[in-house]
Amino acid sequence: MAIIKALDTKFGVQASYHRISAFSINYKDKRIILCVSTYLSKEARINQSDPIEEIDIEIPQLDYPTFLNTNPIEHGYLWLKQNVIGFDDSLDDLEVVDPIPEHVEESQDE
């Protein structure tokens, strides 16, 4: 799952593929942090390129209850689209993109 939207990066290039790469929730302190990784494109993510940027976003404590009793990652994408400038009119990429595993050949004992 990811958000597709061409946005400028701090390096002066546009990147279009943004995904939550880490999610931290502290139930005691009611603190949530999302790490959003930005890739040049979906193809760059599929090809296991490193993200251009990684940004930690702390969710305001006022929004903490909205993350309870729900899938926190899915809700994180919704929260980003509703609260982060630039993501409001973005597209969702619902495809799960996992890195392509390297082929490991098994040796056969004779």
pTM (two decimals)? 0.77
Inter-CA distances, 11 with 15, 17, 19, 47, 83, Å: 10, 15, 18, 21, 23
Report pLDDT for 34: 95
pLDDT value at 48 more than 50: yes
**Across the chain, what does the average pLDDT equal?**
85
